[in-house]
Amino acid sequence: MTRWALSVQRNTVHEKRVYWYLTKTFVGTGQYRVTTSQECRLLCKQSWRVEDAIRVEELISDDYLVEWELDGLPGVTVSYTNEAPEHNYRIGFPLGFKKGDATFINNHAIFQILYTPSQEKFGGYDIVGFEVYPDSIADGECTKKNVEYAFQEVTIRRATVSFTYSVQWKEVQMLPKSRWDAFLLKPNPDRHYYALLNAMIVVMLVSSLIGKKAPMYDDADDFIGWRLINRDVFRRPVYGGLLTPIMGTGIQLFMVFIGLTLCLQLGWYHPAQPGSLARWFTFLFLLGAIPAGYWSARIYKVFRGKSWVLNSILTAVVCPSIMVILLFFISVITWFRQSSLAISFSGWVSLLSIWVLLLVPLTSLGAYFGEKAE
């Protein structure tokens, strides 16, 4: 995968690092000015071995996508459909394409950077969009300005491939806070009407069922079946020690849902921004560990439990361990698929550290107050 990370400071864009992950080679750095367009700049000339060419051809056959990043924004390609009058964004672009028996690599990219004058810094700019238009251009054809040009073919032999790029700046009228709105799907009003109609039908059916007058029973001996449930309400369940941790985690997830909805309404995070939802979910999940332990201990006390410490540990372990195991299997699958979405070793160390050093103590703290409460 190729990753391009840029940061913007006033009138200058500083390129941090450019890596070509197929060969693990550092290819160069540079410095470019905002609003200054550039055409057919040479990034590097990469020498390929036969193994590299075979690997690239396999990736192109597997529809491998390249994801680049600029100022925290992912590089997107623009697509148009007959259903929507506006364009849609798709993150990433294909590494290459096949035409007949030949395979071609997209070794040229046109960066169209959308910017707006900064409202906070005088003379500065804010990046609000990063569009990438890939192309395949044979060596020496980029600067000829020809309408028809040869593509860069992937040949199974030693070769040198030139990687070039062009930069185009486009000023737009957009608030920096709304730059992630373009990644959201446009709502379909018909779906809202259907959902409202279904809800009205369900309410009418339930109201008609509840409105029917239930028969009265004067003799208590005639109570059979579900009418005996009033005798089992306060009876201790058989697996009460396992029920209370699940109930505590349910309260914790409910608080996370309320917190995410509230933070979204306040504009503290954007659902389309990568990583923002995961960060807020982790923070609110840790914050909800205290009430989860508290109410789990209270319910455990009603069930006449004897070890609130064990109950607090189960509350912090039972349901989170299931989620961690599922996440591990998903990460293993993505790792076998050689996807960059797989969680790294350092990521797993951080996740387990948060679990052991933060989640368990916070849950135990809430359980302590729940045990002491009358």
Q: What is the pLDDT tens value at each position of the chain, 374 positions in all?
A: 444 444 333 333 333 333 333 333 333 444 556 667 788 888 888 888 888 888 888 888 888 888 888 877 888 888 766 555 566 788 888 888 888 888 898 988 888 888 888 766 666 778 888 889 898 888 777 776 667 788 888 887 878 888 888 888 888 887 666 677 767 666 666 676 778 888 889 888 887 776 555 555 444 555 555 556 666 666 777 777 888 999 999 999 999 999 999 988 887 877 777 778 888 999 999 999 999 999 999 988 888 888 889 999 999 999 999 999 999 999 999 888 777 778 888 889 999 999 999 999 999 999 999 888 87
Residues 267 and 147 both lie in one domain: no
Residues 125 and 237 both lie in one domain: no
Residues 142 and 242 both lie in one domain: no
- Residue 7 falls within a domain, yes or no? no
Residues 247 and 368 both lie in one domain: yes
Residues 251 and 352 both lie in one domain: yes
- Residue 287 falls within a domain, yes or no? yes
Q: Which domain holds residue 136?
A: 16-183
For residue 29, the model assigns a pLDDT of 45
Residues 152 and 40 both lie in one domain: yes
Residues 237 and 364 both lie in one domain: yes
For residue 159, the model assigns a pLDDT of 80
- Residue 217 falls within a domain, yes or no? no
Residues 242 and 352 both lie in one domain: yes
Largest CA distance in the chain: 98
- Residue 216 falls within a domain, yes or no? no
Cβ contacts of residue 25 below 8 Å, gap of 6+? Answer: 19, 46
Residues 232 and 348 both lie in one domain: yes
For 62, phi then psi, to 5°, come to -90, 15
For residue 286, the model assigns a pLDDT of 94
For 305, phi then psi, to 5°, come to -75, 155
Q: What pTM did the predictor assign? A: 0.64
Count of structural domains within the chain: 2
Burial of residue 367, with CB atoms counted within 10 A of its CB: 0-12 exposed, 13-18 middle, 19 or more buried: buried
Number of residues that this document lists for the chain: 374
For residue 19, the model assigns a pLDDT of 32
- Residue 39 falls within a domain, yes or no? yes
For residue 17, the model assigns a pLDDT of 32
Distance CA 21, CA 157 (A): 20
Residues 113 and 44 both lie in one domain: yes
- Residue 199 falls within a domain, yes or no? no
Residues 102 and 170 both lie in one domain: yes
Residue 75 sits at the vertex; the CA angle it makes with 43 and 102, to the nearest 5 degrees, is 65
HEC per residue, 195-229: HHHHHHHHHHHHHHHHHCCCCCCCCHHHCCHHHHH
Residues 229 and 354 both lie in one domain: yes
